[in-house]
């Protein structure tokens, strides 16, 4: 499909999906969400790509859902937008998705970043769920994912006041994996993506699946799930290649089989 609000950069084995609505600080409307979701799904199906990045620009990852679009919406219109379906589709992408965040990650922007597998933040990134200031609450996972990421008390504070959290605090609280200089945040995210892309592809896919399972299961069920994936990997050529390469003191050559 022709894209209006995103740019795609392919640098095999990684690819970057950049939200490109700079005048509106990358406010997310239905079209933006459709394009981001479709691009991620296309790249997920592309065998030459092994790790994905979603980003915005230095000033804004995304300032949230487009408030102008929502200002006079009725409950039925919001329901029919079925926005949440985009987040569910992004969650189903099998390859790792890194959010490279600089500037504002507010409301739906913060929720989009949290839906990715991990966040690399620039020093100037700010995270907030400011929906309370609009008379509503987060609707695309903010109250749930933020709480799981940073704990109840801090999530409560952010959701009830709408106050923003700095990149450094987000790192200290485990919301983001690492904070990097603003001028090189995308390069740092790409380096991380390339590192992940250099690992055994099936193991990467199942590792992602297993970590994500931790958010949706009891500890006992999660451990059980992890163990089954672990046993399964012994049926792959790559597992034997990885272990033999270690024993033979050489670099492993992954086949993704």
Residues near ligand DAK (CB under 6 A) are: 24-25, 27, 63-68, 78, 81, 83-84, 104, 106-108, 130-131, 134, 139-140
Among residues 65, 189, 203, 207, the one annotated as catalytic is: 65
Among residues 62, 64, 108, 142, the one annotated as catalytic is: 108
What is the edge-to-edge ordering of all strands in the sheet holding 97-101?
6-11, 14-19, 51-55, 97-101, 118-122, 178-180
Please say which residue, 23 or 249, places its beta carbon nearer to ligand DAK: 23
Distances (CA, A) of 175 to 5, 25, 29, 195, 200: 27, 22, 25, 21, 26
Q: In 3D, which of 21, 15, 97 has the Cα closest to residue 60?
A: 21
φ, ψ of residue 97 to 5 degrees: the values are: -120, 120
Helix 219-233 × helix 201-213 angle, to 10°: 170
Please say which residue, 13 or 130, places its beta carbon nearer to ligand DAK: 130
Please say which residue, 63 or 176, places its beta carbon nearer to ligand DAK: 63
Active site residue 123: no
Least separation in angstroms between residue 133's CB and ligand DAK is: 6
Distances (CA, A) of 74 to 28, 32, 80: 18, 21, 10
Residue nearest to ligand DAK (CB): 107
Least separation in angstroms between residue 39's CB and ligand DAK is: 20
Least separation in angstroms between residue 84's CB and ligand DAK is: 4
Please say which residue, 23 or 250, places its beta carbon nearer to ligand DAK: 23
Please say which residue, 21 or 208, places its beta carbon nearer to ligand DAK: 21
Least separation in angstroms between residue 143's CB and ligand DAK is: 11
Confirm if 111 and 127 have CB atoms less than 8 A apart: no
C-alpha angle 23-24-25 in degrees, rounded to nearest 5: 90
φ, ψ of residue 99 to 5 degrees: the values are: -90, 120
Least separation in angstroms between residue 236's CB and ligand DAK is: 38
Active site residue 111: yes
Confirm if 142 and 129 have CB atoms less than 8 A apart: yes
Among residues 15, 107, 131, 226, the one annotated as catalytic is: 131
* Residues designated as active site: 65, 108, 111, 131
């Amino acid at each position: 499909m022709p894209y209006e609000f995103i740019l795609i950069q392919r640098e095999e084995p990684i690819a970057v999906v950049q939200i490109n609505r700079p005048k509106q600080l990358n406010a997310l409307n239905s079209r933006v969400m459709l394009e981001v979701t479709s691009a991620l799904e296309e790249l997920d199906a592309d065998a030459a790509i092994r790790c994905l990045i979603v980003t915005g620009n230095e000033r804004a990852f995304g300032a949230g859902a487009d408030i102008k679009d929502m200002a006079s919406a009725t409950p039925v219109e919001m329901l029919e937008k079925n926005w949440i379906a985009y987040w569910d589709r992004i969650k189903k992408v099998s390859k790792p998705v890194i959010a490279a965040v600089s500037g504002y990650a507010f409301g739906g922007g913060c929720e989009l970043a949290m839906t990715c597998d991990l966040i690399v933040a620039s020093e100037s990134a700010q995270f907030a769920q400011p929906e309370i200031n609009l008379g509503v609450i987060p609707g695309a996972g903010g109250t749930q994912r933020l709480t799981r990421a940073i704990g109840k008390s801090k999530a409560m504070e952010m959701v009830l006041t709408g106050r923003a959290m700095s990149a450094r605090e987000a790192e200290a609280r485990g919301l983001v994996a690492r904070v990097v200089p603003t001028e090189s945040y995308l390069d740092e995210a790409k380096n991380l993506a390339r590192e992940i892309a250099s690992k055994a592809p099936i193991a990467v896919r199942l590792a992602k699946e297993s970590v994500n399972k931790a958010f949706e299961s009891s500890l006992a069920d999660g451990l059980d799930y992890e163990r089954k994936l672990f046993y399964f990997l012994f049926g792959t050529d790559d597992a034997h290649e990885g272990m033999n390469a270690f024993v033979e003191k050489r670099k492993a050559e992954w086949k993704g089989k």
